[in-house]
Amino acid sequence: MGMRSKERGLFELYRDDPERADALVFNRRGLLKGSALAAMGAAVGGAIPFSGNMPSGYIPAALAQGAPAGTQPKILKMDGKADLVILGDKPLVAETPEHLLNDDVTPNDKIFIRNNGVAPDAVSNPDSWELTVDGEVNNVLKLTLGEMKKKFQPVTLALQMECGGNGRSAFEPKASGNQWTNGAISNARWTGVRLKDVLQAAGLKPSAVYTGHYGTDTHLSGDATKPAISRGVPITKAMEEHTIIAYAVNGGPIPQINGAPLRLIVPGWPGSTSQKWVNRIWVRDREHDGQGMGGTSYRVPVKPMVPGDKADPANFRILESMPVRSIITNVPNGTELKAGTRQVALRGHAWAGENTVSDVQVSADFGQTWTKAKLGKAANKYAWQTWTADLKLPDAGYYELWVKATDSNGRSQGHAPGHWNPQGYNGNAMHRVAVLVPA
């Protein structure tokens, strides 16, 4: 049997009958041995120095990752955007692969794209854009962007903005929705005014408990009466001083596809609360009930549910802070290192929604040993943190570089995302990067 057919056979076997493949490839003690080790090594393109640590049933990252067999990722070709990976054309959704997120401050071309509806056309005079603040307020405000810039103090902050579904693709069974890997995250420097200042100018009534956000994008069905999405946050989060109405990013205009000329940034919470093309903030006397609120959308189970089971909406709560996550950004998955490489310098970012990251660790031996990374401080609250670490690679062969972070509440990341839910929120499995040191 030739190498090629052996490799293809392994892939097919795992795809078609993973249980049998495990039985054939791994022995009962869970260690790769003999011809099985050779087959696995051939499949990943090199010897596996830490094969003794590979758990039974474990699929190497090089095998487990990637677009479905026989397909290539679809790459976005859009003026002003880097080579993002398209998850969907209609609505346009594209993520930024981990290795394009190496900058400490995410440049505009690398800010991911997530639409729920049809994006509006650019406006010719951004300063005439009007925002209405109404509902449980003493004075209904109708402010143009020009007036807003004059009336309120500007703030500039580096802020995480992350889609609530980031990491969804790792759920098993598959959760519904865009199959994000880790690329629905950005950490750009946003300039705007505090939502708090605008709400205080309107004067909140004691009955104000929640916000409802509206933008000018339209529902995909073409129903003009239906918002593409309309979510909101509790007043306490709206009044938080890092929650801003942004009109600029990284010192210039916001890209049209990312919400120009005006959008909310509600850092650390699901991106769907950071309404793009925002033109109305409705202050509510109850939890907002707009499009994307209720059911199992942007919600997670209170009591853990059986993966794949039918969801009971009564067992769900709104996803607020995003979970802890870390990524390796300087070594793309599938990197062939120089022959003779025995140490690799790693770099990446870690963030944790409303919390800070207290620890980052990396491993090159399938998690048997962990090395503590040097962890930087956030530029400001809600900015991500940059980490660096060196890992030794004892020999030539195939390695996986794993990273995990722990947040200030002591919560870390698992190998698999926990708390399965039908629409796949809160998935924060460890990031794994496969590298090869040629013999």
Partner 1 sequence: MSMKFVFAVVAAAALLAFAAGSVAQDEREPEEPTVFPEGEYRDEAFYLCTACHGSDLVRAQGHTRERWAEVLKIMVDRHNMAELEGEELDKTLDYLAKAFPPKGRVYSNPFLNRRQ
Stretch 391-430 residues interacting with partner 1 (CB under 8 A): 398, 415-417, 422, 429
Contact (CB, 8 A) for 296 and 378: no
User: How many other C-beta atoms are found inside a 10 Å radius of the C-beta of residue 243?
Assistant: 26
Among 106-114, 252-260, 308-316, 374-382, the segment contacting partner 1 (CB under 8 A):
308-316
Q: Check residue 88 for interaction with partner 1 (CB under 8 A).
A: yes
Candidates 20, 35, 38, 67: give the one binding partner 1 (CB under 8 A).
67
Residues 156-215 that bind partner 1 (CB under 8 A): 169-174, 176, 178-179, 181-182
Pairing between strand 343-351 and 385-392?
A: antiparallel
What CA–CA distance (Å, rounded) separates 187 from 104? 8
Stretch that binds partner 1, among 56-64, 140-148, 356-364, 368-376 (CB under 8 A): 56-64
Rounded to a whole number of angstroms, the minimum distance from the CB of residue 103 to partner 1 is 17
Decide: is 436 part of the binding site for partner 1 (CB under 8 A): yes
Question: d(Cα 435, Cα 334) in Å, to the nearest integer?
Answer: 5
Rounded least distance, CB 347 to partner 1, Å: 17
Q: Which is nearer to partner 1, 154 or 438 (CB)?
A: 438
Q: Which residues from 94-123 bind partner 1, rule CB under 8 A?
A: 95, 97-99
| Shortest reach from residue 90's CB to partner 1, in Å | 4
Q: Give the x/- contact pattern for partner 1 in 325-364, rule: CB under 8 A.
A: -------xxx-x----------------------------
Sign of CA dihedral 263, 295, 324, 330: negative
Which range of residues in 81-89, 201-209, 249-257, 281-289 is near partner 1 by CB under 8 A? 81-89
242 neighbors 267 (Cβ within 8 angstroms): yes
Min dist. Cβ of residue 391 to partner 1 (A): 19
Strand partners for 191: 156, 248
* Stretch of 15-23, 104-112, 155-163, 388-396 contacting partner 1, by CB under 8 A: 15-23
Decide if residue 311 touches partner 1 (CB under 8 A). yes
Contact between 223 and partner 1 by CB under 8 A: the answer reads: yes
What minimum distance in Å lies between the beta carbon of 43 and partner 1?
A: 6
Q: Which of 32, 37, 61, 262 binds partner 1 (CB under 8 A)?
A: 61
309 burial type by CB count under 10 A (0-12 exposed, 13-18 middle, 19+ buried): exposed
Task: State the nearest-atom distance from the C-beta of 216 to partner 1, in Å.
Answer: 18
Min CB(415)–partner 1 separation in Å: 4
Burial class (CB in 10 A: 0-12, 13-18, 19+), 201: middle
Residues 119-148 touching partner 1, rule: CB under 8 A, are: none
Question: Nearest approach, Cβ of 277 to partner 1 (angstroms)?
Answer: 19
61, two tokens: 């990252």
In whole angstroms, give the CA distance from residue 133 to residue 141.
Answer: 5
**Residues 286 to 305: which contact partner 1 by CB under 8 A?**
291, 295, 297
**Binding flag, residue 45, partner 1 (CB under 8 A):** yes
Q: Which of 24, 36, 63, 337 binds partner 1 (CB under 8 A)?
A: 63
Selected range binding partner 1 among 4-12, 241-249, 280-288, 337-345, rule: CB under 8 A: 4-12
The burial of 220, by beta-carbon neighbours within 10 Å (0-12 exposed, 13-18 middle, 19 or more buried), is given as: middle
Closest approach, Cβ 418 to partner 1, in A, equals 10
> In 265-299, which positions are buried (b, 16+ CB within 10 angstroms) versus exposed (e)?
bbbbbbbbbbbbbbebbbbbeeebebbbbeebbbb
Q: How far is the CB of 316 from partner 1 (least distance, A)?
A: 13
From 50, 51, 58, 268, residue interacting with partner 1 (rule: CB under 8 A): 58
Total of residues contacting partner 1 (CB under 8 A): 79
User: Closest distance between partner 1 and the C-beta of residue 57, in Å?
Assistant: 4
Of 27, 26, 33, the residue nearest 10 (C-alpha): 26
Closer CB to partner 1, residue 124 or residue 225?
A: 225
Count of Cβ atoms closer than 10 Å to residue 386 Cβ = 22
Q: Which residue, 72 or 124, has its beta carbon nearer to partner 1?
A: 72
